[in-house]
Structure 1
Amino acid sequence: MKSRFYAYNFGIPMLCAALVFLMFDMTGIDIAISNLLFDPQTQTFPIDKIHFFEKLTHKWARIIPDWTAEIALIGALLSVIWPLVNPHKRPRLGAFLQRSKVAPLLRFCAEHRRDFLFVVVAFAVCTGVIHFLKSHTSVYCPIETTLYGGKMPHIEWYENFQLFHEAGSGRCWPGGHASGGFTMLALYFVARRYQWRFSKAILSGSLLLGFIYGTTRVLQGWHYMSHTLWAGIFVWLACLLTALAFYGWARLALPVLSRREQTLSRVAATSACPAFRTAD
């Protein structure tokens, strides 16, 4: 089960990286797609001029990842309150919190402190990774290049990659807006650990959300399609590595409920077969 989990979560992003590099970075598909969206007569991407489309898909759409990060941060902060309250030592305060319906929320946050912190850190790590790649490749957006009426040259990310210092002022690769949607993948790793029935839906929804975020920017001329795909690849790997740091190799691959069920099974087997009990 562990090998299948890691083969799936490492293998798919790495396979996608190879395919995107060969199919997009090594060909002219990106430019061909953007050419279809560009109006050579007006030297513009017509959809970029629709202000409502910009607000709906770029500004308002940020509410989803922004609110998710804020809720996770609030949960992480609330998680430290219940241990400080310590209802056993402060029964009156505990009773008051119970009557006010606050106690269940504080207990829940305390029980899932690691999960809340993971989501907060995963979002920060994903943002940091994307920012690093943007500044160390200095790729300009299509609309900024001479191909579409801009002043900057068109370059591929691997032609200008600098590991130890910033490569220039370009900030278009990978897709930043798309990465905001893809960061919701952090919720998938939490959902899977607890075997929530909608964990696969969260995975699919996060990938779809990031793809939609990125595609809307492609339509506006602010990204190539491959920028969206690269954002998804890096965010998936960043979330996975952050989850490994928080939960460990074995605990991440083996869902919580599965471990509990296995423990109960072992206890039941031991109770049913006293002969197999180990001596004290």
Structure 2
Amino acid sequence: MVLALLALPLLWDAGGWDMALAQHMGGPAGFALKSNWWLTHVLHDAARQLAWAVGLLLCLAVAWPVGPLRRLPFARRLQLALSGLLATGVVALVKSGSHTSCPWDLAAFGGVARYQSHWQGWLHSDGGAGRCFPAGHASAGFAYVAGWFALRRDLPRLAAVWLALAVAAGLVLGLAQQLRGAHFMSHTLWTAWICAAVGWAVDAAFAHLRMDLQGAAA
């Protein structure tokens, strides 16, 4: 599944649609919605605080589960909390090493940087501030996609709802940042894939650990 999802950001990149979409939202004078109150204070600041609050609650639920999480084994609760934190951390790590600048930094939108593919951003600077790929804010929603892997076996119905909410939140947050000129759509799509890949990798690691423990017990 994770490999199949990789096709979406790759096809978007191959189509070169980032600038075409961004030009519908901004122009030489910049992005009209860059400082929009709802986008900055609600869908950025408040949404980020809510995401961290949920992450904290999941960490607490490892030891003190509530509601349906009481039906989840300890290892799965640990996986649920850990996978989201790791997904956010991996996105932040990748972002810190990229020279790709945000749309609002580009000359086409009133900035100074030149447009280049985020793939080139690993090789040289575009003349801007950089550190804009992938989309860090969208990971506040997409990071919880990783939790689907922890829930799907023991709580399949909750897992389906969890996945839908995480994807919806990530897309809304990613689109909000795109409207402000903070990211291209490819940044959001790659964040979604990275978070899913981290969830899959953590799930595989926990499965391997359980097999080792069962083998040792036998």
Q: TM-score range with shorter-chain normalisation? A: 0.7 to 0.9
Aligned equivalent of 1:140: 101
Unaligned runs of 5+ in 2: 212-218
Q: Is contact 1:140–1:155 with CA below 8 Å preserved after alignment?
A: no
Alpha-carbon separation, structure 2, partners of 1:196 and 1:49: 40
CA distance in 2, matches of 1:16, 1:34: 18
Tell me the CA shift for residue 119 of structure 1: 2.4
Partner of 1:32: 20
Give the greater-gyration-radius structure (CA): 1
The percent identity for this pair of structures is 23
Mapped partners of 1:128, 1:231: distance in 2: 11
CA displacement at 1:115 relative to structure 2:
2.1
The residue that corresponds to 2:33 in the other structure is: 47
Conservation of the 8 A alpha-carbon contact between 1:48 and 1:221: yes
Query: How many aligned positions are there?
Result: 206
Which residues of structure 1 form unaligned runs of 5+?
1-8, 80-103, 163-167, 252-280
Checking the alignment, whether the CA contact within 8 Å between 2:27 and 2:108 is kept in structure 1 is no
Whole-angstrom CA distance in 2 between matches of 1:183 and 1:198: 16
Return the TM-score normalized by structure 2: 0.83
Residues 93-116 of structure 1: CA deviation (Å, up to 9, x unaligned): xxxxxxxxxxx98x949x632123
Q: Which residue of 1 aligns with 2:200?
A: 240
Following superposition, the deviation at residue 152 of structure 1 comes to: 2.4
Q: Give the AA of the match of 2:37.
A: H
Aligned to 1:181: 141
State whether residues 69 and 119 of structure 1, in contact with CA within 8 Å, keep that contact through their aligned partners in structure 2. no
Q: How far did 1:72 drift?
A: 1.5
> Which residue of structure 1 lines up, in the alignment, with residue 120 of structure 2?
159
* Runs of 4+ more than 3 Å apart: 248-251
Amino acid at match of 2:12: V
How far the C-alpha of 1:77 sits from its partner, in A, is 4.2
- Between the two structures, name the one with larger relative contact order (CA 8 Å, sep ≥ 6): 2
TM (norm. structure 1) is: 0.66
Distance 1:137 1:120, change over 3 A: same
Distance 1:247 1:231, change over 3 A: same
SS of residue in 1 equivalent to 2:33: helix
What is the CA-CA distance between 1:234 and the residue it aligns to? 0.9
1:70-123 Cα deviation digits (max 9, x unpaired): 0121123448xxxxxxxxxxxxxxxxxxxxxxxx98x949x6321232123212
Does the CA-based 8 Å contact 1:175-1:231 persist in structure 2?
yes
Residues 1:120 and 2:108 are matched in the alignment: no
Contact 1:75 1:113 in 2 (8 A): no
Q: In 2 relative to 1, CA 68–115 (structure 1 residues): closer, same or farther, beyond 3 Å?
A: farther
